[in-house]
Amino acid sequence: MSVATTESVQLVQFLKNVKLFSELSPESLAKLGSRLKTVEFPPSEVIVREGAPGVSMYIIRSGLVEVRKKDPTTGIDFLVAQLGEGAAVGEMALLTSRPRSATVTTVQATVVFTLTRSDFRNLLTQHPEISLGLARILAERVEEATKHVGIDFISLQKENFDPKVVGLVPQTVILLHRLIPVAYVNNALTLAMVNPSNLVAFDDVRRYVKGAIIEPRICTEDDFRKFMDSIYPQLMGLDKGQRTELEKKNTEERRERKEERRKQTSTMDVPVQSFEDLQNEILTGMEVQSEEEEKVNAMELTTASEDAPVVRLANNILALAIKKGASDIHIEPQEKGVVFRLRVDGILKVENVLSKKIQLPLISRLKILSRLDISERRMPQDGRISIKINDRSIDFRVSTVPAKFGEKVVMRVLDKSGSLLPLDQLILHPKVVDLMYRMIHQPYGIIYVTGPTGSGKTTTLYSALNEINSSDVNISTAEDPVEYDLPGLCQVQTHKDIGLDFARILRAFLRQDPDVILVGETRDMETAKISVEAALTGHLVFTTLHTNDAPGSFTRLQEMGIEPFLMANSTIGIVAQRLARRICQNCKVQVEIDDTMLGFFGFTRENAPPFFKGEGCDRCSGNGYRGRVAIYEILVMNDELKRAVAAGAKTDALRDMAEKGGMVNLKEYAMFLMEKGLTTVEEVLTNLVISD
C-alpha cells in the first residue's frame, strides 16, 4: 500500500470539484487521477477543433478556454462559453466518438488533464464502481445535449436569495445586462437573465465570478424591474436615499444600454464572413434611426433578435444591399433554409442561403427595426427602416407576408438623398432630351411618364422636378412612398389606412397655391380627373401612368373616364420609358448579330452598325453589365395630335401621326443606345418585345 502523497491528495480534491466526478469516492478519484495526463497549452492554442473526431476529454487544471461554435452557412462564430479551472470539455467523447461539436481555444496559458477514451474504458472495466458514480451525471449531460437550447424560466418573486450570491456581481453589471445571480453551487452560477442569449453579459459576469459555469434562466423584464425596485434594495441593505439613487441609476443605465445598442448597430465593425466583400467604410457611420421598440409582447423573439450576431447579420444585409446598389432585398424562408436575394440592375440574384435556425431571430430583428409587431406572424405588415450612411439617408420600405415556410420579408431600398442625375444624363439622345426640356418649362398642363413597374419613372420625374425647383416655385408632391428628399419641396406620403390617398392630397394641394404638382401615380378616375382640372386651371402637373407606350396613354386615360377633349387640352406630352442593363464599358467587345435580328432593327448586312456586348470582367463581376440605361420615347402634343385625340383617334393612328411628326420611338431610341455600345440586342429585345 502506497502512502498518498500531498500531490495526489490535491489531485483527488481537485477532481472532486469537477462536476462530472462529483459523485465518485476518494478511492475512485485516486484511480481516475492515475490515468490522467497533464498537457500544457500556450495562449490562443486550439485544444479541440469542431468537426474533429472526439477521442478524449479535457479537464482544465488552470487557465481559461473559450468554446465557440460556428454556424456553417453564415460563418458566424458564436461564443458558447468561457471555461476555467475545474471545467471539463469533451466528456461526451468518452461515451461516443462523435465529432467535436465546438472548437475550444485557450485564452490564457492553460494546463489540462486529458483522459483518453481507451484509458477511460479500461478504468471502467477494472473498476465498475466508477461507472455507477458517473452514470447519473453522464445521463444528465446526455439529456442536456439532446434538449438543445432549453433554458428554464424562473420567477424572481418566488426565489429565496442569498445576499452573498446576489452580491457576486456588481450592481452596475446587474442593471446593464438585466441579470440576477440566483445560486452558486459547485462552480455553477445560476443566473436569471432577461436576455439569456446576451453573450456580452456572460463575459462580464465571468470577470467577477471567475471560471464559473453559467447556467442561465429566463426571467421577464417586468419581474426583473420589480426585483430591483423592491427585493434588491432590502437584500443589499440599501437605505431609502440609496434606493432613489438606484432608481435614478436604473433609468440612466437603461438609457445607456439603449445608446450602447444604437452604437452596436452603428459601428457594425465585424463583417460576417460570408459577406467578406462587405467593406468597412460602408459600415462606419451607419446609423439605425429607428428606435428599439419598447413594448414587445413576444419577449423570447426580442431577446433572440438582440443577440449581437443577429444584429450584425441584419445590418450586414442592409449594408450589402446598399453597397451593391440593390433596389430590393428578399428574405425568403424555405423548407431547409432562408434564401437571401438582392435585386441589382433589375435582376434578382441569390446572395446566400442562411441557416434555418437564423430565420426567426433575423426576421424578428428586421421587424423590430421596421417597428412592426413581432408577435404577429400570420398577417402581412408594412414598415420602414431609416438609416444613415455617411450623411446619405436611406430608407427601406419593409413588407412582410406570411408564407408556407415562414414570413417572407421584402425591403425596397429608397435612397432618398440618392444622386439625382440631371436630365441630360438620363436622356442621352440629344433630340429627345430637348423635347423634355421644352415640356417641363411649360407654364401649365400635364406631363405623363409611363412604363412598367421598375422602369425608372420616378427617377425621371424627380430629375425633371429638380430641374425646375427654385425658391420662386411652389412644388408639392403626393407620393407612395416618398422616394427622394428634394429640398424646398412639400412632399406628402399617402396613408391608405387613414384615407389619405392621392386624390385627397391633391385636393388639399390645390388650396395651397401650388405652381407644380407631382402625383406619384394616376391609377383611378378621381385622381385622373383632379389632375386634369389642376392642369386646366394653370398648374404644371407631373404624374405616372401604367401603360406600355406613349400613344397608348390616351386609351388608358379614356378608360379612366377622362373626356377626349379634356385630354387633348390638358396634356403637354407623354414620356414612355424602359430600363435596360448597361454594357460594362471595361470589357465591351463587338459582336456579330444574325440577319433576322438585323431585319428586326431595319438593317441589312451592308448598312448595319457595329453591335456590342460585355465579355465579363472583375468590375462587372463577370456579368458583362454594370448599371442601367433608360430607353425613352417622348410624344409632345401638337395641334394635329390635339385634334386627333379630341376626335377619339385610336392608338395606332396616333402613333403613326406622332412618328411622322418626328417622334423618336422606343425602338429607335434603343437602336441609338446599341450603336453607342451602351446596351445589347438581348436587353433591348427583353425590354421592348416582351413588354409590348
Q: Are 23 and 137 contacting, i.e. CB atoms less than 8 angstroms apart?
A: yes
Q: How many residues bind Zn ion (CB under 5 A)?
A: 7
Helix, strand, coil fractions of the chain, as percent rounded to 5:
40, 25, 35
User: Do the beta carbons of residue 575 and residue 665 sit within 8 Å?
Assistant: no
Q: Looking at 107-115, 407-415, 578-586, 645-653, which segment touches Zn ion (CB under 5 A)?
A: 578-586
User: By C-beta, is 372 or 587 nearer to Zn ion?
Assistant: 587
Q: H/E element holding 138?
A: helix 128-147
Minimum distance from CB of 669 to Zn ion (Å)? 24
User: Could you say which of 278, 358, 420, 584 contacts Zn ion (CB under 5 A)?
Assistant: 584
For 108, the grid coordinates are: 490564457
Stretch that binds Zn ion, among 396-404, 438-446, 587-595, 666-674 (CB under 5 A): 587-595
Tally of CB atoms within 10 A around 129: 13
Cell numbers describing residue 257 = 444600454
585 binds Zn ion (CB under 5 A): no
Output the smallest distance, CB 411 to Zn ion, in A: 28
Task: Output 330 or 581, the one with its CB closest to Zn ion.
Answer: 581
Q: How far apart are CA 161 and CA 169, in angstroms?
A: 14
Q: What is the nearest approach in angstroms of Zn ion to the Cβ of residue 627? A: 11
* Grid cell of 475 as nine digits: 412644388
Q: Which of 95, 140, 129, 138 is nearest to 26 (CA)?
A: 129
C-beta separation of 430 from 463 below 8 A: no
Which one, 591 or 689, has the nearer CB to Zn ion?
591
Q: How far is the C-alpha of 118 from the C-alpha of 590, rounded, in Å?
A: 70
Closest distance to Zn ion from the beta carbon of 612 (Å)? 12
Q: Which is nearer to Zn ion, 616 or 648 (CB)?
A: 616
Specify the residue, 465 or 678, whose C-beta has the smaller distance to Zn ion: 678
H-run or E-run covering 627: strand 625-636
Answer yes or no whether residue 621 interacts with Zn ion by CB under 5 A: no
- Rounded to the nearest whole angstrom, what is the least distance from the CB of residue 586 to Zn ion in the complex? 4
Is 678 a binding residue for Zn ion by CB under 5 A? The answer is no
The CB-of-582 to Zn ion minimum distance in angstroms stands at 11
* Choices 7-15, 18-26, 69-77, 608-616 (CB under 5 A): range interacting with Zn ion: 608-616
Residue number, 63 or 624, with CB nearest to Zn ion: 624
Q: Taking the complex as a whole, how short is the minimal distance between the CB of residue 585 and Zn ion, in angstroms?
A: 8
Q: How far is the CB of 584 from Zn ion (least distance, A)?
A: 3
| Calpha distance 205→197 (Å, rounded) | 13
CA pair distance 182, 160, nearest whole angstrom? 8
What minimum distance in Å lies between the beta carbon of 555 and Zn ion?
A: 41
Question: Which of the 8 DSSP states describes residue 628?
Answer: E
Least Å distance, CB 498 to Zn ion, is 48
On whether the CB atoms of residues 428 and 461 are closer than 8 A, the answer is no
Please tell me what DSSP assigns to residue 501: -
CB of 615 to Zn ion, least distance (A): 7
Binding segment for Zn ion among 72-80, 445-453, 579-587, 596-604 (CB under 5 A)? 579-587
Residue 454 CB, shortest distance to Zn ion, in Å, is 23
Write the DSSP string, 561-612. T--HHHHHHHEEEEEEEEEEEEEPTTSEEEE---HHHHHHTT--TTTPPPEE
Place of cell 430607353: 631
Residue 582, CB half-sphere, CA atoms under 13 Å: how many? Answer: 16
Question: Which among 389, 414, 393, 412 has a CA at the least distance from the CA of 265?
Answer: 389
Stretch that binds Zn ion, among 37-45, 210-218, 347-355, 607-615 (CB under 5 A): 607-615
d(CA 409, CA 401): 7
- Scanning 335-343, 356-364, 534-542, 583-591 for contacts with Zn ion by CB under 5 A, the matching segment is 583-591
Span near Zn ion by CB under 5 A; candidates 38-46, 206-214, 610-618, 655-663: 610-618
Residue 677 beta carbon to Zn ion: minimum distance, rounded to whole angstroms: 13
- Which parts of 296-325 interact with Zn ion (CB under 5 A)? none
Q: Is 177 or 613 the residue whose CB approaches Zn ion more closely? A: 613
Q: Which range in 167-175, 234-242, 280-288, 582-590 contacts Zn ion by CB under 5 A? A: 582-590
Q: Between residues 418 and 616, which has the closer beta carbon with respect to Zn ion?
A: 616
The stretch near Zn ion (CB under 5 A) out of 219-227, 357-365, 456-464, 618-626 is 618-626
Q: Residue from 114, 469, 558, 586 that binds Zn ion (CB under 5 A)? A: 586
Q: Nearest distance from residue 516's CB to Zn ion, in Å?
A: 40
| 90 vs 614, beta carbon nearer Zn ion | 614
- Encoded amino acid at 361, one letter: P
Judged by DSSP in three states, 246 sits in helix
Cβ closest to Zn ion, residue 507 vs residue 619: 619
The answer to whether residue 587 forms part of the interface with Zn ion (CB under 5 A) is yes
Task: Kindly tell me which of 383 and 614 has the beta carbon lying closer to Zn ion.
Answer: 614
Smallest CA-to-CA distance from 306 within 262, 251, 253 is with 262
Q: Please identify, using beta-carbon distances, which residue of 257 and 349 lies nearer to Zn ion.
A: 349
Closest Cα to residue 304, out of 265, 381, 360?
360
Q: Return the residue of 617, 651, 675, 686 that touches Zn ion, per CB under 5 A.
A: 617
First to last CA, the chain: 99
Question: Which residue in the shown chain puts its C-beta closest to Zn ion?
Answer: 584
Nearest approach, Cβ of residue 282 and Zn ion (Å):
22
Q: Minimum Å distance from CB 323 to Zn ion?
A: 18
Is-cis flag, bond preceding 170, omega within 30?
A: no
CA dist., res. 611 & res. 593, Å (int) = 7
Binding of residue 620 to Zn ion (CB under 5 A): yes
DSSP secondary structure string for all residues of 632-673: EEEEE--HHHHHHHHTT--HHHHHHHHHHTT---HHHHHHHH
Is the Cβ of residue 493 or residue 586 nearer to Zn ion in the bound state? 586
Cβ-based neighbours of 155, under 8 Å, separated by 6 or more:
219, 223
d(C-alpha 106, C-alpha 48), whole Å:
10
The residue among 584 and 663 lying less far from Zn ion, judged by its C-beta, is 584
Would you say 560 or 617 has its CB closer to Zn ion? 617
Q: How far is the CB of 624 from Zn ion (least distance, A)?
A: 6
Return the DSSP state at 395: E
Q: In the 8-state DSSP scheme, what is residue 156?
A: G
Phi, psi of 114 (to 5 degrees): -115, 150
Nearest residue (CB) to Zn ion, 484 versus 612: 612
Nearer to Zn ion, 347 or 689 (CB): 347
Interface residues toward Zn ion, by CB under 5 A: 584, 586-587, 614, 617, 619-620
